[in-house]
Structure 1
Amino acid sequence: MATPVILGVSAVAAAVLGRSMIKRGVFLGKGAVEQWAKGGFRAKMDRKEAIAILGLKDGPQLRSRLKDAHRQIMLANHPDRGGSPTGTVILVYGLLSLYRYRLFV
């Protein structure tokens, strides 16, 4: 009779402890949770938001890292692997490609 209660309390305690450890960045590094973008996407995406979605920094190496960052995010968010729809990531890559070729002002 007491065993299910003990198991339940243990599970709740483990969940609370795990959540606090994730928030403090024990598993992913300090401040990893705060690096995630807060809120949703803007109605019209701009260059700054597109770069932030890919996790890149604006600078001279942006062009060389664009394709690799896009590929990594597409693989991580692939629907066959349980990820989310990839429409936003495709939009980001397209927008930054237009900037790359200076077709978008």
Structure 2
Amino acid sequence: MYNIMFALSGAGQSGEGGNPFMMFVPIILIFVVFYFILIRPQQKKQKAHQALLSQLKKGDKVVTNGGLYGTVSDAKDHVVVLKIAENVKVEVVKSAVATVIEKKE
């Protein structure tokens, strides 16, 4: 019985000496799939958000990441001044603006 096991185990080793590059193909495929499923959509989303921030202007109604609703009263390079109530203005970093609710035409 042991002779049969040794004979069968030796038959499976005849495939050695293949292309070593073939070992890396599955790993490369996994990275490609991760790129198109995770990284690429995130980059598109980030570009869209940057475009949204660059188009902010006075009168736009926005929501910040902290949940503040306000109207843009001034937009500078990196800072946006939001009017959140009568006589209440708050300066926030432009990147803190999450979405634009209503654009002023």
TM over 0.5: no
RCO higher in structure (CA 8 A, sep ≥6) = 2
| TM-score computed with the length of structure 2 as normaliser | 0.31
Higher helix share: 1
Q: Specify the structure having the higher radius of gyration (Cα).
A: 2
Higher strand share: 2
